[in-house]
Amino acid sequence: MKKTVAVLLADGFEEGEAVVFIDLVRRAGMQVDVLACKASTQLDTYFETRISADYTLAEKFDQNYDAIMMPGGPKGTDNLGACPQVMEFIKRHIQLDKWICALCSSPAKVLGKHGLLAGKHFVTGSGLEDLVVGGHYVDAKVVVDGQFITGKGLGCSFDFALTVAKALRTDDPNHILWQADHIYYEGWPESVRYFNA
């Protein structure tokens, strides 16, 4: 059975981070549902690229996923963190011990501001680490601590997506190494810092 991943998008999300993640995780053989955290599937992105989601979060709210992912984007992460439905969805998946994957500003503005990274090692976009209540900032491209995978930003999107894919594809981790080689991506997995794994 394919592993399932929910990508949570709100108006103002960083489209480059989202699209790289969706592409690489689907290549790796996972079912990715792109969820708009609003009433419509049509989304406004950080740099005005036209993108629509597969479903709204409301349509898939009761489904449990193996992982959930949130890209950055200043306004997008503000919108995610301010949405009670998003926070309830994330907290439920934390309680179910699912993978929680946040890139760029989302570790700080979605998870950290709500105390969800307390006691965890994390990375986030530069200058945002002080928003994280009780977490331990690590300056790395990608940080894995328990069920949390955090990435620094757009330039680390490939490292982040490959790390999430490898965490999910426990049945065939060599497939993810092959995928990285297939797209001529170098420097991963050496770019990842692990804690409490």
Q: Which residues are catalytic?
A: 104
Could you check whether the bond before residue 189 is cis, i.e. omega within 30 degrees of 0? Answer: yes
For residue 13, the 8-state DSSP code is: B
Torsion region of 32: left, alpha or beta (phi above 0 gives left; psi -120 to 50 gives alpha): beta
The order of strands in the sheet holding 192-195 is: 55-56, 31-36, 4-9, 67-70, 99-103, 148-151, 142-145, 192-195
For residue 134, the 8-state DSSP code is: S
